[in-house]
């Protein structure tokens, strides 16, 4: 977790009930300067990781395949960071912005 920034606890309305959540940001530069990913921890649910443009699809990230746009070295560093985070967070649901399967995986989580 040392790669993550400050934890911001809060509450969110989920399905009509107010649930405790926390959001942690981490830099995932490479595609563009200043890019971040957000780890969303939810009570009694798997954590979510919103990775934006770091990858085009969750399966590509799992394979370590880098997108064709951006700084290759920084993309590789950010990808390694996110893959390490997956090992630390059992059940982590990775949600890339351009992944056509992300919405369904979010609903299923």
pLDDT, residue 2, reads: 42
Find all residues with CB under 8 Å of 86, minimum gap 6, and list them: 49, 92, 94
How many C-alpha atoms does 58 have within 13 Å on its Cβ side?
Answer: 16
Kindly report the pTM of this predicted structure: 0.79
**Using one digit for the tens of pLDDT, what is the confidence trace for 48-60?**
999 988 998 999 9
Domains of the chain in sequence order: 7-108 (3.60.15.10)
Q: What is the 3-state secondary structure (H, E, C) of 7-40?
A: EEEEEEEECCEEEEEEEEEEECCCCCCCCEEEEE
SS3 52: strand
pLDDT, residue 8, reads: 52
Is residue 40's pLDDT more than 80?
Answer: yes
Is residue 1's pLDDT more than 50?
Answer: no
Q: Work out the mean pLDDT of the chain and round it to a whole number.
A: 83
Distance CA 5, CA 20 (A): 19
Who wins on pLDDT, 31 or 85? Answer: 85
Mean pLDDT on 38-54: 90
Is residue 6's pLDDT more than 60?
Answer: no
Work out the pLDDT band at 102, boundaries 50, 70, 90.
very high
């Amino acid at each position: 977790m040392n790669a993550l920034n400050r934890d911001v606890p809060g509450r969110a309305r989920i399905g009509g009930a107010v649930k405790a959540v926390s959001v942690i940001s981490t830099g995932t530069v490479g595609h563009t300067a200043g890019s971040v990913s957000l780890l969303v921890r939810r009570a009694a649910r798997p954590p979510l990781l919103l990775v934006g443009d770091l990858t085009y699809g969750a399966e590509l990230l799992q394979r370590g395949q880098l997108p064709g746009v951006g700084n290759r070295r920084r993309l590789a560093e950010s990808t390694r960071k996110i893959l390490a985070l997956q090992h630390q967070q059992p059940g982590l649901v990775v949600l890339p912005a351009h992944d056509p399967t992300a919405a369904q995986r979010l609903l299923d989580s």
